Amino acid sequence: MPDRPTQARPRVAVTGLGSLSALGNDVAAHLKGLRAGTVGIGETRGVDVSSMKTKISAEVRDFVPEAHFEPRQLGLLDRTAQFAVVAARQALADAGPVLEGAARHRVGAIFAASVGSHAVDDSYRKLYAEGAPRPHPFTVPRAMPSGQVSHITMDLGIHGPAFAIASACSSAAHAIGTAFHMVRSGMLDVAISGGAESQLTYGMLKSWEALRVLSPDGCRPFSRDRAGLVIGEGAGAVVLENMDRALARGATIHAELVGFGMSADGMDITAPDMASAAAAMRFALEDAGLAPEQVDYVSAHGTATTLNDRTEAGALRLVFGDHLARLPVSSSKSQYGHTMNASGALDFVTTVLALREGFLPPTMGFREFDPDCDLDCVPNGARDAAIEAAISSSFAFGGLNAVLAVKRYG
């Protein structure tokens, strides 16, 4: 019996982008900051940090909730959910009339799960410090990890599959990868995906400080004198669409999402595993049909902790071998901080912009070469480059890893 001809898999287009970060409150501002090497890290203003050792963070500045939501809505939305809805609105607007003609249940929303930290912090303060008889009546819906995706479906009128994925710092990358597979499989025609996070509350900052992983003076990924991560807040969102459908409606295609890889360390709740991180990268390349030598840029997880950066550099050596000497690897967390469950989405938006605009985002704050991180980390300034293919990596606490592979379109 003759072999069946191999059928080409449907392609997936990125047709919409949305973001809020310490670099600005939309994609245009985010792109401008990336290219200029702007560092959005500074003294924390939204929380009283006078009793803390760490007084810096990467805040979203000048965000006015009342400019985006009616007063009756604000009682139901934690700051994280506000960011998520605004970023999703931006992505949908950028995608144009993507929902026109779409079957009601073939449009989905898959986002990172994030606890409403502000709702929890406010309620506990009222109960424990102020002696209030009860917390805010909407504390539970404001705090629930699936709150942001629920609000996105209600705000945008989405009726297809919608859910939240929890895998710590890989949550948004897992969400985008899952949405990608759902579109590629034909389950969905359109998916809105990403993540949002705001952990800049007194309780969460004190908790991160207790872990002793925060830098007191800036984020310096891959630099020998790196001193830890900087907490950021923000959101990233993308619209993923069946390529044939996007072309038929004349959509602007920012990039093509081509692969997704996952792995679990199965070893430690905080310490990463080199071999497992490498496996996730390999799986993403295999899924994309890309050889390691075809990758022109890596958007690294790059948290600026001693162990994580060293482990990630080692994993890159395992995957790319000699090609690593010619492969730029940068961490944009040096500009907009580690946005936790949103980081995979913001890093992916950054990667798409790098492909579309033809530049390498920088690793800011780099001061000293580290032989354990022997990488071209694009130090201290963006660089023009024609990028055809890239990966964006997320390696989370608990060893939950997700890597997205993307190609330039056109």
Beta carbons of 148 and 80 less than 8 angstroms apart: yes
Token pair for 392: 């964006």
- Measured between its terminal Cα atoms, the distance across the chain in Å is 39
Residue 321 gets the label, from left (phi > 0), alpha (psi -120 to 50) or beta, of: left
Pick the catalytic residue from 30, 118, 151, 169. 169
User: How many other C-beta atoms are found inside a 10 Å radius of the C-beta of residue 367?
Assistant: 12
Question: Helices in 144-273 by DSSP H: which ranges?
Answer: 147-156, 171-184, 202-211, 243-248
Pick the catalytic residue from 151, 174, 254, 338. 338
Respond yes or no: is residue 338 known to be catalytic.
yes
* Residue from 377, 334, 390, 302 nearest 34 by CA: 334
Residue 350 gets the label, from left (phi > 0), alpha (psi -120 to 50) or beta, of: alpha
Token pair for 343: 């980081």
Beta carbons of 22 and 338 less than 8 angstroms apart: no
Respond yes or no: is residue 301 known to be catalytic.
yes
Beta carbons of 23 and 236 less than 8 angstroms apart: no
Pick the catalytic residue from 151, 219, 301, 373. 301
Token pair for 335: 């500009």
Q: Collapsing DSSP states into helix, strand and coil, what is residue 406?
A: strand
* Residue from 296, 257, 256, 298 nearest 277 by CA: 298
In b/e form, how buried is each residue of 240-263, taking b as 16+ CB within 10 angstroms? bbbbebbeeeebebbbbbbbbbbb
**Angle, to 10 degrees, between the axis of helix 79-94 and the axis of helix 117-124?**
160
Measured in degrees and rounded to the nearest 5, phi and psi for residue 298 equal -120, 120
Burial of 104 (0-12, 13-18, 19+ CB in 10 A): exposed
Residues classed as catalytic = 169, 301, 338
